[in-house]
Amino acid sequence: MLTMWLKTGSLINRRALSGAKAALSSRAMSSSGKLDLTGVYPPIPTPFKQDESIDWEALRSNLTLWNEHDLRGYLVQGSNGEYCYLTLQERVDMIRVVKESAGKKMLVLAGSGCESTRQTIDLTCQMAEAGADAAVVITPCYFKGKMTGEVLEKHYTAVADASPIPVVLYSVPANTTLDMDPGTVANLASHPNIVGIKDSGGDITKIGKMVADTAGEDFQVLAGSASFLLPSLAVGAVGGICALANVLPAEVARLQALCMDNKWDEAKLLQHKLIGPNGAVTKQFGVPGLKESMEWFGFHGGPTRMPLVPLKQNESVQLKKIFTSHGFL
């Protein structure tokens, strides 16, 4: 599959492919040789100027601050990155800038999913060339009635076959209305280049089942939200890609550390404290709320790109009350 794509016009060349594979060999690996994803990752927002162009200096400033915390890396161009409003070139440029500014030990996960398999492969290869350590591939969803388990298996297998970097599945049913079933995930886990899944559905029973069903494959599950990070870790997840970590990186990373150290009583109290703010910057107020709350903690949030609009004044007041009532402001 990879050879076919190289011959038929994939935008990555053989030299870039070789370089990406060589770089992969030097990264943190699990006992089976797969990329170790353990830890917390903020799905970083894309900072914009008032004219909606990308504010590259604000991005670098945010990364400097995040690098000071015990994070494992960053997801670039996830849902909170407003990837669906960016051009393909902007998406690749984001990877390059983040890779240059991230700490040396930080993994850069690239949101490379597109609606077509062909474009997903091309973008994944471009992002690998730009320095991404792994690709996080969202389920295609426009023709959702046709996106059966069999179809998704073929899609992800083609992407993983062609990708020069490891692939992480990405299920976010709140946005796509598609929830990858555990059977499909288990089938894909046997692919040598598919190393895990980011699951944002919040069904702990499903997360536990995916961990159990893929135990022999060294397949890693990442919780897609800080609101269920503790129970996910308790049933075998290895970490989380958590929007709240953009705002409260120390606290979300500490929750992970407490769980890893079996300090469950402390972890439970912290988990309870994070649920309210997490819900506010995800389901309740979304990306505009996330960006506004970042400003209160010294980060650059800035405007969204239309059609997303900033919070109304009453929404801002509600958001601040939530953070204040939980002791963070």
**If you count DSSP H runs as helices and E runs as strands, how many of each does the chain have, helices first?**
14, 9
Active-site hit among 198, 206, 209, 291: 198
DSSP-assigned letters across all residues of 12-51: S-HHHHHHHHHHHHTS-B-TTSSBP--EEE-EE---B-TT
Q: Where are the alpha helices (DSSP H) in 192-248?
A: 204-213, 229-234
> Residue 61: CA atoms inside 13 Å, Cβ hemisphere, count?
12
CA pair distance 276, 154, nearest whole angstrom:
39
Per-residue pLDDT of 248-276, as tens digits, reads 999 999 999 999 999 999 999 999 999 99
- Is 22 a residue whose pLDDT tops 70? no
Do 108 and 102 meet the contact criterion of CB atoms below 8 Å apart? yes
Taking all residues of the chain, what is their mean pLDDT, rounded to a whole number? 92
Of residues 124, 159, 117, the one with CA closest to residue 17? 124
- Is 16 a residue whose pLDDT tops 90? no
* 241 vs 2, higher pLDDT: 241
% of the chain at pLDDT higher than 70? 90
Per-residue pLDDT of 189-235, as tens digits, reads 999 999 999 999 999 999 999 999 999 898 999 999 999 999 999 99
Q: Within its chain, how far is the Cα of 257 from the centroid?
A: 19
Active-site annotation holds for 198 = yes
Q: Within its chain, how far is the Cα of 232 from the centroid?
A: 16
CATH architecture of 2-262: Alpha-Beta Barrel (3.20)
pLDDT for res 96: 98
> Residue 227: CA atoms inside 13 Å, Cβ hemisphere, count?
16
pTM of the model: 0.91
Please tell me whether residue 111 adopts helix, strand or coil conformation. Answer: strand
Per-residue pLDDT of 155-184, as tens digits, reads 999 999 999 999 999 999 999 989 999 999
Per-domain boundaries in the chain:
2-262
Q: How buried is 26 (Cβ within 10 angstroms: 0-12 exposed, 13-18 middle, 19+ buried)?
A: exposed
- Is 33 a residue whose pLDDT tops 90? no
